Amino acid sequence: MQKKNLHIITNSVIAIAMTLFFTTCESHLKDVNKMGVSANEPVGVSDSINVKYTDSGRLSANLVSPKMYDFSNRDFSYSEFPDGLVLHLYDQQNQRTTIFADYGIVYNNTNLIDLRGNVIAATQANDTLFAEQLYFDQKKEWLFTNKPATYRSDGLVTNGAGFDSDKDFNKTSVLGITGQYPVSE
């Protein structure tokens, strides 16, 4: 009889332990699933942003966009501009280069801005670049792309397989020139 009671108690303890184990696992599984969803979501969404960057008290850049998603919760954090953006870059004489893009990403760890879709960059001197994608290295203040680009300057239109330039378009290079022709007025 005592052996039978010991067997019943042992089985009851095992049943209770297993119930607790599965209940705890289920609870943790729900927590893990919640974390997976929230890790893919932005930590912030901003509408109508207008961010100004200064260097030694002088305006050096101005980024304007209707919407921004903040993914600073990621290991490789970034901000995404799904509805396009306008980026104004200013030189020492306050001359402005303006870049328009349908979409953009600012990578926080590398200070690189990836501009995509109908990218147009125009200087105050009316030099203009047209590309599907353009990168801006904020530290080096350098613009570049390895995608086809069209550059208009000094009465010439130059098509190429890529483009490199400082932000002021003083040191420009069209890579892999595929055509060049005068601008017809």
Q: Render pLDDT for 76-118 as a digit per residue (tens, 0 to 9).
A: 899 999 999 999 999 888 999 999 999 999 998 998 999 999 9
CA gap 55, 98 in Å, rounded: 18
**Domain CATH code at residue 81:** 2.60.450.10
Residues 76 and 6 in one domain: no
Give φ, ψ of 4 to 5 degrees: -65, -40
Residues 113 and 34 in one domain: no
Strand residue runs (E) in the chain: 44-55, 58-71, 78-81, 85-90, 96-101, 103-107, 112-123, 128-137, 142-145, 149-153, 156-166, 173-182
Q: Is residue 7 domain-shared with residue 68, that is, in the same domain?
A: no
Assess whether 29 and 62 both reside in one domain: no
Whether 62 and 148 map to the same domain: the answer is yes
Same domain, 33 and 85: no
Q: For residue range 33-71, what is the model confidence (pLDDT) as tens digits?
A: 555 546 678 899 999 999 998 888 889 999 999 999 999
**The domain containing residue 3 runs over which residues?**
1-40
pTM, two decimal places: 0.76
pLDDT at 85: 96
Give the total number of structural domains in the chain: 2
Query: Is there a single domain that holds both residue 10 and residue 58?
Result: no
Residue 54 and residue 18 share a domain: no
